[in-house]
């Protein structure tokens, strides 16, 4: 193994957090190297799979317009309220059920807007999140204020703009180059990083490494170990390159694992979704209209309250419960009353369809008599009538061991439809602990000298569910902080 290269700071990964780290380190005059495991077209891990939305503190629409390159009168009809620091904190606390690390949260919130300004100066072009505008552009409208802006051309655009900026700033990016080890000197300071590419393994001398290499969602062994039995079968919604390498190497050096290692963000997803993310295909695969029907496992049994809340509130739980069923699959069953209400993404599936339930069970290859028993029992406990899918209608089943708490309507109007689904993992929550300077901490809460982390790898920020636009925002905030501190170490 040769020591041929030397850099002040080495960044692992070339996603949003990594590129922000690299640019911030360069601002301090450091010589910066980025190593990226994937080939260039797959650069950016999970970022290209996002809509590129950022959640940050702002002062309403007029304030946001100052961050956008050209403002025209198409926004005249729109209004957006300010998004305050208190709102941001309350949303973080609510979604994480109070588990989020409060010091990290306070830093994310207070640094969110300055970081957006800094990214703008680094060449990121912003737009108002388009899905909201298209429906409101022709009518006076107040649009939601939490995710203020999206990167131009979404997640892929974000990576393109940040990469361009990194290259213009003289930052070297080595693709198809993987971190395989971290080396410390006798004083327990980071002294080099071991890299592997198609020519073999070599060492890069450095005094600081920023781990920005994502979660462990694409590593089936780690999923089984930390998330539990069944998770090895999950479809991966994002990058196949996020295999927890940073988690393992940081822990090997004594980093303190923190956060919700047993939890992750997940969703019910079509059984035919690709094993790992494929842009243009995977985003059409989530199956979240289950509140309009029932879901049974391979033994024809219901196993969860499908109507506990809106899908937005329950799909993470649903995705993970499906994975814990036999063979990690389930079937979403609908009748013709609900069929036309299914989200358009269902058009990409080929459901089993039949005019009678016995035949549907045969087509789905699940026990027929048990299926009839399950539906009969459900229908006895359910109500006649139609769905009110836009509100929690409180129409609950009566006396079922596993109730359906809303939309508890009989499944009785043929034709009947069955969709085979499994669980798709979006990203993981657990990871090494950092402090507000993005330094990786050991078991005694002391920094491991020269080791920093930012982005999805960091534990202790998100728990239980997702908060739209917070993943990218905390990656940028701590990416910038990590790069700055790594450079001035």
Ligand X SMILES: Cc1cc2nc3c(=O)[nH]c(=O)nc-3n(C[C@H](O)[C@H](O)[C@H](O)COP(=O)(O)OP(=O)(O)OC[C@H]3O[C@@H](n4cnc5c(N)ncnc54)[C@H](O)[C@@H]3O)c2cc1C
Q: How many CB atoms lie within 10 A of CB 443?
A: 10
Nearer to ligand X, 45 or 351 (CB): 45
Q: Which residues contact 114 (CB under 8 A, 6 or more apart)?
A: none
Closest CA to 208 of 489, 406, 461, 432: 489
Closest CA to 472 of 124, 28, 78: 124
Nearer to ligand X, 460 or 469 (CB): 469
Least distance between ligand X and beta carbon 144 (Å): 13
Least distance between ligand X and beta carbon 314 (Å): 18
Q: How many CB atoms lie within 10 A of CB 221?
A: 11
**DSSP at 21:** H
For residues 21 and 488, give the distance between their C-alpha atoms in angstroms, rounded to a whole number: 13
Least distance between ligand X and beta carbon 177 (Å): 7
Least distance between ligand X and beta carbon 279 (Å): 10
Nearer to ligand X, 49 or 346 (CB): 49
Nearer to ligand X, 226 or 427 (CB): 427
Nearer to ligand X, 131 or 369 (CB): 131
For residues 120 and 68, give the distance between their C-alpha atoms in angstroms, rounded to a whole number: 9
Nearer to ligand X, 90 or 356 (CB): 90
Least distance between ligand X and beta carbon 127 (Å): 15
For residue 86, the surrounding DSSP H or E stretch is helix 85-95
For residues 400 and 359, give the distance between their C-alpha atoms in angstroms, rounded to a whole number: 25
Q: Which residues contact 416 (CB under 8 A, 6 or more apart)?
A: 333, 334, 335, 336, 353, 354, 355, 356, 357, 360
Where are the extended beta strands (E) located within 198-232?
200-205, 208-211
Closest CA to 288 of 352, 340, 346, 350: 346
Nearer to ligand X, 11 or 80 (CB): 11
Least distance between ligand X and beta carbon 130 (Å): 13
Chain centre distance of CA 84: 24
Dihedral of the CA atoms 217, 222, 225, 226 (nearest 10)? -40
Least distance between ligand X and beta carbon 395 (Å): 31
Closest CA to 260 of 465, 49, 475: 465
Residue 57, helix vs strand vs coil: coil
Least distance between ligand X and beta carbon 277 (Å): 6
8 Å CB contact between 97 and 472: no
Least distance between ligand X and beta carbon 466 (Å): 7
Q: How many CB atoms lie within 10 A of CB 421?
A: 28
| Token output for 221 | 């062994």
- CA distances 339 to 55, 230, 288, 358, 419, Å, are 34, 30, 13, 19, 11
Nearer to ligand X, 59 or 466 (CB): 466
Nearer to ligand X, 215 or 307 (CB): 215
What angle (nearest 5°) sits at the alpha carbon of residue 402, between those of residues 396 and 408?
A: 25
Nearer to ligand X, 274 or 414 (CB): 274
* Sign of the dihedral through C-alpha 311, 315, 321, 323: positive
8 Å CB contact between 127 and 68: yes
Least distance between ligand X and beta carbon 143 (Å): 16
Nearer to ligand X, 176 or 359 (CB): 176
Number of helices (H) and strands (E) in the chain: give both, helices first: 13, 23
Contact residues toward ligand X (CB under 6 A) are 12-18, 35-38, 43-47, 49-51, 53, 178-179, 212-214, 237-239, 241-242, 245, 426-427, 455-456, 468-472, 475
| Token output for 87 | 């709102």
Least distance between ligand X and beta carbon 33 (Å): 11
8 Å CB contact between 418 and 352: yes
Least distance between ligand X and beta carbon 80 (Å): 18
Nearer to ligand X, 53 or 307 (CB): 53
Least distance between ligand X and beta carbon 47 (Å): 4
Nearer to ligand X, 14 or 360 (CB): 14
Q: How many CB atoms lie within 10 A of CB 137?
A: 16
């Amino acid at each position: 193994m040769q020591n041929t290269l030397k850099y002040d700071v080495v960044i692992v990964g070339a996603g949003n957090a990594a590129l922000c780290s690299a640019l911030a380190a360069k601002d301090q005059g450091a010589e910066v190297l980025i190593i990226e495991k994937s080939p260039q077209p797959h650069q950016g891990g999970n970022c290209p799979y996002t809509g590129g939305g950022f959640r940050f503190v702002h002062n309403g629409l007029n304030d946001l317009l100052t961050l956008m390159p050209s403002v025209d009168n198409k926004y005249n009809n729109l209004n957006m309220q300010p998004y305050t620091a208190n709102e941001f904190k309350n949303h973080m606390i609510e979604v994480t059920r109070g588990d989020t690390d409060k010091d990290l949260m306070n830093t994310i919130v207070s640094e969110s807007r300055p970081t957006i300004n800094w990214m703008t100066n680094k060449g990121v072009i912003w737009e108002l999140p388009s899905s909201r505008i298209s429906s409101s552009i022709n009518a006076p409208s107040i649009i939601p204020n939490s995710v203020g802006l999206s990167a131009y051309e979404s997640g892929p655009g974000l990576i393109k703009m940040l990469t361009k900026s990194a290259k213009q700033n003289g930052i070297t990016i080595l693709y198809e180059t993987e971190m395989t080890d971290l080396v410390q000197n006798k004083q327990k300071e980071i002294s080099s990083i071991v890299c592997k590419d198609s020519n073999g393994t070599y060492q890069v001398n450095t005094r600081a490494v920023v781990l920005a290499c994502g979660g462990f969602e694409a590593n089936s062994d780690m999923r089984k170990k930390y998330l539990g039995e069944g998770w090895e079968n999950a479809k991966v919604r994002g990058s196949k390159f996020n295999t927890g390498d940073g988690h393992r190497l940081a822990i090997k050096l004594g980093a303190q694992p923190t956060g919700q290692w047993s939890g992750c963000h997940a969703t019910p997803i079509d059984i035919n979704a690709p094993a790992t993310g494929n842009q243009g295909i995977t985003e059409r695969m989530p199956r979240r209209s289950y509140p309009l029907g029932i879901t049974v496992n391979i033994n024809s049994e219901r196993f969860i309250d499908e109507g506990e809340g809106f899908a937005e509130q329950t799909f993470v739980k649903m995705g993970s419960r499906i994975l814990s069923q036999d063979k990690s699959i389930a079937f979403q069953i609908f009748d013709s009353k609900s069929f036309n209400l299914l989200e358009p993404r269902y058009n990409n599936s080929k459901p089993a369809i039949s005019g009678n339930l016995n035949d549907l069970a045969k087509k789905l290859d699940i026990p027929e008599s048990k299926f009839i028993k399950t539906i009969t029992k459900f229908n006895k406990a359910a109500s006649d009538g139609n769905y009110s899918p836009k509100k929690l209608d409180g129409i609950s089943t009566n006396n079922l061991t596993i109730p359906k708490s809303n939309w508890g309507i009989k499944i009785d109007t043929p034709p009947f439809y069955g969709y085979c689904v499994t669980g798709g993992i979006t990203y993981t929550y657990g990871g090494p602990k950092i402090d507000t300077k993005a330094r990786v901490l050991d078991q005694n809460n002391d920094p491991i000298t020269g080791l920093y982390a930012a982005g999805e790898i960091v534990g202790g920020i998100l728990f239980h569910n997702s908060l739209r636009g917070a993943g990218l925002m905390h990656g940028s905030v701590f990416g910038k902080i990590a790069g700055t501190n790594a450079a001035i170490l």
